Structure 1
Amino acid sequence: MYDGYAELAGTEVVNSARVAAYAAAHGIDIACDDCGELADALGDDPYDWFEGVQDSAPWVDVTRPESRSFLGVLGLGVTGTEDGQVVRQPTDLIGDGVALGPLRRKGREIAFTVGLVCLTESALSYAIGWLAAVLRGGACGASACQGDQLCMFSSCPQSPGGAEELRHLYDVGLLEAPRIDSRTYLTGGAILANVTFVLLASTPQIFSEPLPGVVDWVPLSKGAVLYGVDPDSVYERCRDAKPCVDDPQCPRPRTPPRPPVPRSPCLPKGKGNFLQTLFRLDPRSAPDWFEVVPVVEVEPGSRDMRRLIIRFWNNPSGAECATLSDPCQACFDIAVPYLPKGSVLSVDGRTQRALVQCPQEETGLVATAAPQLYGPAGRAFEWPVFSCPTGVCVEVLTQRENTAKDARVRVSLVARGDAA
């Protein structure tokens, strides 16, 4: 992972290119890897120090003059982003051998070594305080318990906007606070303080940008009309294969009956008129050796939406989705009983969290809530993960009378791996 840039909770923490430009304006030569494309990838103007004022530096505080003598955070090293996090705890058997046990991913510890470049001692005191505050993460919402998003680059960005090199980690929080390990005095009495800190990502996978070839917003009001159908009743005909080695003349002992699968009493049922929208996500963009998760966004528009169903199928050959619409072969279902008009639903496979945002015109506020999500026919919901290289077909069903003309959906696919 490139150690010259890191952003936590939307705030730039490390930017070696910015530090090098500011230091050069003071005649200080900082030996660091040159990444001249970094400012372009971030959409920044060339970094410049003019008349003693930094350009858009995030640490500058007009009430603290010493903040202008802080030149920024230089990346010196990062570890923990190239290590796989999959572990297994075997259990000894009474006889020979062990039971392997399930694979699981542990949390990812990311250790940073950085340099704080300051012109004065007071600026260094300010810098360490600023860094400690930034690393505490977002000041609002659930970030105090759930963590924040950490953005880095796998290497010095070369692609347009750095899209190919950009990496995201989620649910990241501070594990070990910043600590000054050493100080080096530079030209003119400037100070380079070596500082270490450790972040912990409770979601251990590292995510890329959404895969190319994914469709943009898809309108829902123009879908094919299905009259008098019950989308959940189709599962009644889905059957598992029968055992083929049982002797019909000597049946096996009966096994105890399984408890019934709980189903939601709140999920609408029965026949209705639906709009069916089918679209596919290009299989050529799916990586061969990484898992892929979907990110689903739905805007019901100007009318309350009820009985929303989104289904996913594997489509490795890129076939027309109309040939793959057998619900018994679907990989995953997302069923949402109700979405209020004007809201925005996000079902994020990266963080495995779902959120509905409801703007309130009368107050100008936005209410947020976790929606009720269900699986097939109102059963338990499972987060979609595609573990094999494949394209995806998506079917969206909405009740016709509850689908506004401006209702729409967008589905993105994001690759995730155990290293950058």
Structure 2
Amino acid sequence: MIPDYADLGCTEIVNSARASAYAQKYCLLAGCEPCPGIAEAVADEPYVDPVTDPAPWYDPAVPESAMFLGVMGVDAVGFSNSTRSRTPVQLVGDGAALGIARRSHRELVYSVLLLVTDQCALPYALEWLSAALQGAPCEGSCSGDELGVFACCPTGDGTRELRHLYGVALIDGPNVTSTRYEPEGIIAEVTFTLAAAVPWIYREPLAGLADWITLRSGSLLTFDPDEVYDDCPEVTPCLDDPLCPAPPLPVRAPVPVDPCYPTGAAEFYRSVVALAPVDQPEWLEAVPVLELGTGATALRRLIVRFWANPLGSDCMDVADPCGACTDIQIPYLPAGSKLTVDGRTQRAEVICPQGALGTATSAPTVYGPQGQSFEWPVFSCPVGVCIEILSTSATTAADARARVSLVPRSDVG
């Protein structure tokens, strides 16, 4: 990743192109123009000065903010290191049990330059940077913010180069390591360290699944969607002796199922979207993100099912019950609500209208196949995916809509 741009919680922290443009007007760091395509990639006009643009840190109530010329990235360490590790456990005899591989959090160490034109602006620059690194305001338990960076200098709209990290928060700094006084201004070198609770580095969603779907535009069918898993035969161990059966295993605790979970046959709207194997990067995993708006009425018995489609067949014809990967099932969503089930952060939330109070955010219970436990799906190779969205016709509003995205991720970048 390049150190020239960082956006934390929707606040631009580092932008070397902006800082360079401002600094050149004062002949501070003249001739330095890193990544000139950043302005276009983040939909900014050509940079003029902190007041005219205005810059993220400019505050009309603080005159010295106009003398702060920006944050220029020097180095960013931690993106190119894998967080995966494995701790072997030594056996009593020779060798060891390898253990399970896991990924810890990711630490990102930034070195930046604060550029100011006079002594009074330097304290403000440090105050602003310290406040901006606290992230976006949150309520209750804070779980970090989204960090946007570029893998290389962007071109065009920057979609190809843009990367995202989640659950990011400041753990150290900012700390001033040196201060250099020039005739044209002051350059302070500062370091700070961020931690990403989610270790993965995410790309933009795959373009093949970018469109919203109106749920009522799907075909109308009457069936029991939970029966699909009943038709998949179980594999019989080949060494079981029919004349001498093995002793029965201990009884396992039953999987808890919501007693109010809706089952049985009903009339459903069914929409299907497809991702061909060639549309998914070959060496990257991908995770789904479901977004849904219920519209004017409450929605009941929502099912989003993922089917493996390695041959790239027409998804309307994919019906092999053994090809069903997993479900996202939610029994009830209130009218006017917005649902997000995000495989990147492994969180689900519903934003509900509260009249004059605005909105409230709740965490819904997400079920898996047949209303049982839900596991976050990961598509580890480009097998092709068919995504089926089902909602009961009696509760699907005319303006209800949904979108399912697949987002590639990597362990290093």
In which range does the TM-score fall when normalised by the shorter chain? Answer: over 0.9
Q: Which residue of 1 aligns with 2:193?
A: 198
The residue identity in structure 2 corresponding to 1:224 is S
Give the TM-score normalised by structure 2: 0.96
The residue identity in structure 2 corresponding to 1:166 is L
The one of 166, 173, 177 aligned to 1:181: 177
Identity of aligned residues (%): 49
The one of 208, 211, 214 aligned to 2:209: 214
Q: What is the deviation of 1:145?
A: 2.3
The residue identity in structure 2 corresponding to 1:389 is P
Quick check: 2:20–2:34 contact (8 Å CA) kept in 1? no
Q: Which residue of 1 aligns with 2:123?
A: 125
Q: In the aligned structure 1, how far is the partner of 2:264 from the partner of 2:215?
A: 21
SS at match of 1:232: helix
The residue identity in structure 1 corresponding to 2:251 is P
Task: Kindly report which structure 2 residues correspond to 1:55-66, keeping only aligned pairs within 5 A, or say none.
Answer: 55-66=53-64
Matched, 1:396 2:396: no
Q: Which residue of 2 aligns with 1:166?
A: 162
The one of 72, 84, 87 aligned to 1:86: 84
SS at match of 1:307: strand
The one of 144, 147, 150 aligned to 2:147: 150
The residue identity in structure 2 corresponding to 1:199 is L
- Segment of structure 1 superposing worse, 74-83 or 60-69: 60-69
Q: What is the deviation of 1:12?
A: 0.5
Quick check: 1:224–1:276 contact (8 Å CA) kept in 2? yes
Q: In the aligned structure 1, how far is the partner of 2:158 from the partner of 2:228?
A: 45
Q: What is the deviation of 1:355?
A: 1.0
Q: Which residue of 2 aligns with 1:373?
A: 366
Q: What is the deviation of 1:329?
A: 2.4
Task: Kindly report which structure 2 residues correspond to 1:8-407, keeping only aligned pairs within 5 A, or say none.
Answer: 8-30=8-30, 32=32, 34-49=34-49, 53-141=51-139, 145-158=142-155, 160-188=156-184, 190-227=185-222, 229-360=223-354, 362-363=355-356, 365-407=358-400
Q: In the aligned structure 2, how far is the partner of 1:62 from the partner of 1:11?
A: 18
Q: In the aligned structure 2, how far is the partner of 1:167 from the partner of 1:403?
A: 35
Q: In the aligned structure 1, how far is the partner of 2:234 from the partner of 2:393?
A: 32
- Segment of structure 1 superposing worse, 78-87 or 273-282: 273-282
Quick check: 2:215–2:401 contact (8 Å CA) kept in 1? yes
- Segment of structure 1 superposing worse, 314-323 or 209-218: 314-323
Give the TM-score normalised by structure 1: 0.94
- Segment of structure 1 superposing worse, 207-216 or 379-388: 207-216
Q: In the aligned structure 1, how far is the partner of 2:302 from the partner of 2:115?
A: 54
Q: What is the deviation of 1:279?
A: 2.0
Q: Closer, same or farther in 2 for the Cα pair 1:30/1:315, shift >3 Å?
A: farther
Q: In the aligned structure 2, how far is the partner of 1:53 from the partner of 1:235?
A: 62
Q: Which runs of 5+ in 2 are unaligned?
A: none
The residue identity in structure 2 corresponding to 1:7 is D
SS at match of 2:379: coil
SS at match of 1:221: helix
The residue identity in structure 1 corresponding to 2:382 is P
Quick check: 2:64–2:124 contact (8 Å CA) kept in 1? yes
Q: Which runs of 5+ in 1 are unaligned?
A: none
Give aligned pairs, total.
Answer: 413
Q: Cα deviation per residue 1:244-284 (whole Å; 9 max; x = unaligned)? A: 11222232222222222221112112222222222212332
The residue identity in structure 1 corresponding to 2:407 is V
SS at match of 2:17: helix
Q: What is the deviation of 1:30?
A: 4.4
Q: Quote the RMSD (CA, aligned, Å).
A: 1.6
Quick check: 1:300–1:341 contact (8 Å CA) kept in 2? yes
Quick check: 2:51–2:58 contact (8 Å CA) kept in 1? no
The residue identity in structure 2 corresponding to 1:251 is P
Q: Which residue of 2 aligns with 1:414?
A: 407
SS at match of 1:28: coil
Q: Closer, same or farther in 2 for the Cα pair 1:340/1:368, shift >3 Å?
A: same
Q: Cα deviation per residue 1:399-418 (whole Å; 9 max; x = unaligned)? A: 11111122221111110001
Q: In the aligned structure 1, how far is the partner of 2:42 from the partner of 2:280?
A: 26
Quick check: 1:54–1:68 contact (8 Å CA) kept in 2? no
